[in-house]
Amino acid sequence: MSALAVVTAHSTIVLPHIRYLAILPEIVMLGGAVLLLGIASLVRRPLRVTVSTVGTIVIAGTSLGLALWQWADISSHGPYTAIDHAVVVDGFSVLITITVACAMILSALVGDGYLRREGVDGCEFHVLAMVSATGAMFMGEANDLIIVFLGLEIMSIALYVLAAMNHRRAASGEAALKYFVLGGFSSAVFIYGVALTYGATGTTNLTQIADFLSHNVIASNGVLLAGLSLLLVGFLFKVAAVPFHMWTPDVYQGAPSPVTGFMAAVAKAGGFAALLRVFVSSFGTLQSDWRPILYAVAVITLLFGAGVALVQRDVKRVLAYSSINHAGFVLLGVEAATAQGVSASLYYLFTYTFMTIGAFAVVTLLGRRGDGHHDIASYRGLAGRQPLLALAFAVLLLAQAGAPFTTGFLAKFQVVDASVNAGSVPLAVIAMVSAAIAAFFYLRIGLIMYTPVAGKGFLPGIEPLDDDEANAGPSGESETDGTGDAAPAELSAGNGQRPVWSGTEGAVVVRTQLNAELLLDTAPGEVQVLDPSEDIVEADAVDDETAAESAAEDTAKVPVPALAALAIGLCVAVTVVFGVIPAPLIDFAHKATLLFIP
Amino acid sequence: MSHHPGFPYLTVLILLPAAGALLAAVLPNASRVVYRLIGIVTSLAVLGFAIAVGFLLQAGNGGYQFTSHHVWAKSLGISWYVGVDGISLFLVLMAAVLFPIVLVSAKSNRDPRAFVGWMLLLEAACMGSFLSLDLILFFLFFELTLVPAYFIIGGWGYAGRAYAAIKFFVYTFFGSAFLLVGILVVAFLHQSQTGVLTFSLPALEHTHFSSTTGILLFLAFTSAFAIKAPLFPFHTWSPDAYAEAPTGGSMILAGVLAKLGTYGIIRFDLNLFPQASRTLAPLLLTLAVIGILYGAVVACAQRDMKRLIAYSSLAQIGFIALGTFAFTTQGLTGGVLLMVNHGLITAALFLLVGWIYERRHTWQVNELRGLQRPAPVLAAIFTVSMLASIGLPGLNGFVSEFLILSGTFLTHRWWAVVATLGVIFAALYLLWAYQQVFHGKPKPADEKTRDLSWAERGIIAPLIILIVVLGIYPKPVLDRITPSVNRLVDRVELVTHTHQPPVARFGTNGAEVQATVRSAP
């Protein structure tokens, strides 16, 4: 069968032997998006946010319900392929569909408050997100490289536009362009990989590739390996593995915060779904060729993601690098190339969806109007102002760090377990070491939230010595920052008493000792040195100015819309409940792996 | 072998403080009295349960008692498997004594809600770590201790708290990375040998390791425990953390959390890798002796009382490790006893130093003088705690140090000889510091130093009573520790085909000596 035939079969979708149930969640999602867009273009005024939100939740909810129906269907009748074996409905694909649908619902809840706050009417956010989600679902269901590519493109193109959605921010457009250029390039690489694979095996169907490779020994497999590597590059770009991660920090920072959360969850789910299916099942016989590559990629991804996040002071960038670190962890499961590894990766992707969307939901709220307050300093004292929000954020961050009794720990535990069982003990050790490094920056955010803005009555008999002030002393350049944040806040608090930050011998000793503490509050100068791109620094500077202007606003409470609170609450609940009662979710991932074709 | 009454005492010991922490977290905007009350009542209730467990424990039985076993995550092989024996019992009791004292003494802290919440969570995690018999469950609690400890140091500590908190966290977490992978490898090897996936300690004890694998795994486990304890040369986080933490934090860090490391070595290293433990014992003994001498020498050079106690702790932890790797009943029993004694003594010292700081706003030895005259009770209580730390006969420190040194002398003579120097050093630096602070003519600023109030006397009284009682009559404690230690020593001897000198068994357990004497012809 030629690749062309597969494409034809797919595009002429009304064929007698099509099982609609197989692609019903996608049809609903995409059809719903088109419907919403149609309604929006028919009515005179831009569609109200409420309408889009409700519509999206209904559509994504229906899609989720259909996915659960699929689950029931394959649980009783077994998994199957459909539409000329181009798509496959198995536990794996259903789990990805469920993950993406959940991500869509949560993002719609978060996006609602964001769109109202920013005064954006219309349904673009929702429509584009749903289209993107459809693409990710297809990537999970694809049983043919062409379908993988279609899914990849559907997902990505919508994401490019979503990243640029906030047209008021220059950084946003810049990020989108960067994403688009690099993404387009990686798609080209990917499709070239598809072509080479087709040349080597004579098919693009994943099952047939696996059959071919298990029945034939290719004497000179240069073309096949070249195709395999190009496919790998395409996937690794989507999941933001080092060294194909360059776009991630800029895009995560530049994109509107709810979009970032959505992107982090959905692009990873789709990308890893296809990566797992293509490599673990189709190219399973070539394990000895690709496992070493993934081993190396996983090592640098883990260490780079965790290491670079340490020196960031923009929370969105921290989370961007942390998402790179998470990608490294999922790669552990892929590298294991066992059923246990697949199951662990799926579990990781599912739970990570909730952790990351929840975290970005909090970031969205704290970004305030204009979505610009992402400097780590503006999180100071959050626990005092809004204890519940701070607690939720702390739980989500701790879960990402792998704290016990959260799904985050179980996710890390399972991939590390799979890795150890597959014999990659050094990789497992490196992963855990990177988790130790990563824990540090999650906790740093946590600690800053729980540090009061002005140290009032900190300790009996000691003059309050604020961290900012302690840093500002020797370095000087961070002084603007320290005073800019702390002083007005303190005056507004009516305290009237400036913290003493110069003078006593003890304090000087502390300061010289604490050069290492630039880690806690990096001076902007440090960021410039370490930042790979200059433009973002400018954005930082702009942010800093706005932060200084509205420093008083920083200590005000942020409004928490009910829907966003619901989304955050759901994310925290899933993270904690399934962390304490782990069996249902773990069994779900296991079962999904058992119902795996081929 | 295992004895368990119907009531799940141990599960309650773990869950009760966790529930208290949750209550403090969700209770909105109550007054500070309410939060303090939650903390005090919960921790006292935990103490009550711990004492009940102490009374109900069968003294002559060295195995795990009060066990309760529930599958937690079936497909991952993890269980809620808790149990207590003579080794862990007194650590649990010690922790249960220290937490109420910390919570009562920390009355002037800001944000009592968060403080109580984190402290109770820390207590739950400590109890869980001491009681877990499932390796992953232990790891979970072992890790869980880090989070509240980090927030307590970072939130309520002194000037360098952020640096100290982060250093503490990163060091410990780094060690845990090796621990988790080590645990997984052990379970994996056990599964490949028996086909059963489990993390239960009693089951994994029967896993066979090649000598190289055993040594590597031993090192992976020990790296985590040595950092946590801390053993020389992994101690560099501890002076910072102990000095910058608030008084209550220092008490728990040095008193309880440090013991997680030494407890982990005894419970997991010795049980799982007896052969490797034996092979690497000279290395660990040497590190222990270096730690004893290094800690003592550096303590001599400290002007800051909190750092002085931190370095003296390093020396004491060295003694614990010395007793552990001597592989004699006396040495190990002394090691376990010193864990408890050191917890009580250090907590008392940190509490006293904290009170001096409240009065005089300094920890610098040079800046204080002649406190004895205005504050005689403070001076008297400080004397008792200090003498206990030095190892004066009649106080608890002597019993454990004597057992350790005599137990080590039998099998590793020269290490014991060198380590004895550490005892002399301890007398040197502690007496010197005491002399500086309490003797002489008070400076004008020192003259009006307030003596301990009755409330403060009441707070520290339990510690002083225990220090004295355990020094005069340690038999009930030794009777319970020794059977478990004997079981462990027997196991090591069985695997490694070595034997401790018969005399090492005597002198720790009166009943056993009598039994041996009677059975002799």
Residues of B in contact with A443 (CB under 8 A): 147, 150, 166, 169
Question: How far is residue A93's CA from residue A109's CA, in Å, rounded to a whole number?
Answer: 24
Is residue B71 in a domain?
Answer: yes
Domain housing B215: 9-512
Contact by Cβ (8 Å): B103, B90: no
Cβ contact A391–B25 (<8 Å): yes
Domain count, chain B: 1
SS3 A555: coil
Tell me the average confidence (pLDDT) per consecutive run of 10 residues in chain A, 598 residues long.
54 64 91 92 84 93 94 88 87 93 95 87 87 94 93 93 80 85 92 93 90 83 90 92 89 89 93 92 87 93 90 90 94 91 93 95 88 84 85 92 90 93 90 89 85 50 38 37 37 36 35 37 36 39 46 70 92 92 88 73
Residue with tokens 């800001």: B110
CA distance, residue B247 to nearest chain A CA (Å): 11
CA distance, residue A332 to nearest chain B CA (Å): 13
Which are the contacts of A48, defined by CB distance < 8 A and separation ≥ 6? A121
Cβ contact B76–A413 (<8 Å): yes
State the average pLDDT over residues B273-302: 91
B184 → closest Cβ in A416, A516, A590:
A416
Contact by Cβ (8 Å): A571, A399: no
Test the A interface: residue of B22, B74, B147, B216 with most A CBs within 10 Å: B147
Question: How far is residue B502's CA from residue B492's CA, in Å, rounded to a whole number?
Answer: 15
CB atoms within 10 A of CB A219: 5
Is residue B365 in a domain?
Answer: yes
A428 → closest Cβ in B110, B136, B181:
B181
Question: How far is residue B123's CA from residue B135's CA, in Å, rounded to a whole number?
Answer: 19
Residues of A in contact with B77 (CB under 8 A): none
Question: How far is residue B275's CA from residue B174's CA, in Å, rounded to a whole number?
Answer: 26
Closest to B114 (Cα-Cα) out of B151, B89, B79 = B151
Res A170: pLDDT: 75
CA distance, residue B402 to nearest chain A CA (Å): 39
Residues of A in contact with B147 (CB under 8 A): 398, 403, 443
Residue A490 vs residue B185, higher pLDDT: B185
Test the B interface: residue of A311, A343, A417, A434 with most B CBs within 10 Å: A417
Res B220: pLDDT: 92
User: pLDDT class for B362, splitting at 50, 70, 90?
Assistant: confident
Res A311: pLDDT: 85
B178 → closest Cβ in A429, A439, A444:
A429
B158 → closest Cβ in A432, A462, A587:
A462
Res A454: pLDDT: 56
State the average pLDDT over residues B477-502: 85
Closest to B187 (Cα-Cα) out of A418, A589, A586 = A418
Radius of gyration of chain B (CA): 22
Residue A387 half-sphere exposure toward CB, CA atoms < 13 A: 10
Is residue B2 in a domain?
Answer: no
Is residue B4 in a domain?
Answer: no
The 3-class SS string of A499-545 reads CCCCCCHHHHHHHHHHHHHHHCCCCHHHHHHHCCCHHHHHHHHHHHH
CA distance, residue A316 to nearest chain B CA (Å): 21
Question: How far is residue A96's CA from residue B171's CA, in Å, rounded to a whole number?
Answer: 37
State the average pLDDT over residues B414-442: 87
Res A499: pLDDT: 37
Question: How far is residue A49's CA from residue B316's CA, in Å, rounded to a whole number?
Answer: 66
Residues of A in contact with B174 (CB under 8 A): 433, 436
Largest CA distance in chain A: 85
Residues of B in contact with A351 (CB under 8 A): none
Instruction: Please provide the distance, in angstroms rounded to a whole number, between the alpha carbons at the two ends of chain B.
Output: 30
CB atoms within 10 A of CB A124: 18
Question: How far is residue A33's CA from residue A59's CA, in Å, rounded to a whole number?
Answer: 8
Closest to B25 (Cα-Cα) out of A558, A450, A444, A379 = A450
CA distance, residue A290 to nearest chain B CA (Å): 24
Res A15: pLDDT: 56
| Segment holding A493, helix H or strand E | none
> Please, is A525 exposed, middle or buried when counting C-beta atoms within 10 Å of its C-beta (0-12, 13-18, 19+)?
middle
Helices (H), B111-210: 112-131, 135-144, 146-156, 161-194, 201-204
A586 → closest Cβ in B73, B158, B177:
B73
Question: How far is residue A102's CA from residue A354's CA, in Å, rounded to a whole number?
Answer: 8
| Segment holding B377, helix H or strand E | helix B376-390
Residues of B in contact with A404 (CB under 8 A): 139-141, 143-144
> What one-letter code names the amino acid at B320?
I
**Which residue of B lies nearest to A446 if distances are taken between CA atoms?**
B151
Question: How far is residue B219's CA from residue B227's CA, in Å, rounded to a whole number?
Answer: 12
CA distance, residue B302 to nearest chain A CA (Å): 15
CA distances from A95 to A103, A283, B206 (A): 12, 22, 39
Which residues of B make CB contacts under 8 Å with A? 25, 72-76, 108, 110, 114, 136, 139-141, 143-144, 147, 150-151, 154-156, 158-160, 162-163, 165-166, 169-170, 173-174, 176-178, 180-181, 184-185, 188, 246, 357-358, 361
CA A51 to chain centre: 27
Question: How far is residue B68's CA from residue B305's CA, in Å, rounded to a whole number?
Answer: 43
Residues of B in contact with A444 (CB under 8 A): 166
B169 → closest Cβ in A428, A443, A459:
A443
A450 → closest Cβ in B76, B144, B155:
B155
Question: How far is residue B225's CA from residue B235's CA, in Å, rounded to a whole number?
Answer: 11
Test the B interface: residue of A420, A430, A471, A594 with most B CBs within 10 Å: A420
Residue with tokens 């052990």: B186
Question: How far is residue A140's CA from residue A158's CA, in Å, rounded to a whole number?
Answer: 17
B143 → closest Cβ in A404, A450, A587:
A404
Give the pLDDT confidence of B367-421 residue by residue, as tens digits.
888 888 888 898 999 999 999 998 888 898 888 998 999 888 888 889 899 988 8
Residues of B in contact with A582 (CB under 8 A): 72-73, 76
Structure tokens at B287: 């590190």
Residues in chain A: 598
Residues of A in contact with B183 (CB under 8 A): none
Beta bridge partners of B364: B304
> What one-letter code names the amino acid at A430?
I
Instruction: Supply the DSSP string of A187-233, one letter for each residue.
Output: HHHHHHHHHHHHHHHS--BHHHHHHHHHH---S--HHHHHHHHHHHH
Question: How far is residue A357's CA from residue A396's CA, in Å, rounded to a whole number?
Answer: 10
Residues of A in contact with B169 (CB under 8 A): 439-440, 443
Is residue B517 in a domain?
Answer: no
SS3 B79: strand
> Please, is B40 exposed, middle or buried when counting C-beta atoms within 10 Å of its C-beta (0-12, 13-18, 19+)?
middle
> Please, is A186 exposed, middle or buried when counting C-beta atoms within 10 Å of its C-beta (0-12, 13-18, 19+)?
buried
Cβ contact B151–A447 (<8 Å): yes
* A-to-B residue pairs, Cβ atoms closer than 8 angstroms: 125
B140 → closest Cβ in A404, A421, A435:
A404
Which are the contacts of B337, defined by CB distance < 8 A and separation ≥ 6? B90, B396, B399, B400, B403, B470, B474, B477, B478, B481
Closest to A151 (Cα-Cα) out of A90, A71, A238 = A238
Q: Is the pLDDT of residue B446 over 80?
A: no
| Segment holding A309, helix H or strand E | helix A287-309
Structure tokens at B291: 């730690």
CA distance, residue A462 to nearest chain B CA (Å): 7
Question: How far is residue A355's CA from residue A396's CA, in Å, rounded to a whole number?
Answer: 6
Is residue B97 in a domain?
Answer: yes
Give the pLDDT confidence of B131-175 residue by residue, as tens digits.
999 999 999 999 899 889 988 888 888 888 888 888 888 888 888
Mean pLDDT of chain B: 87
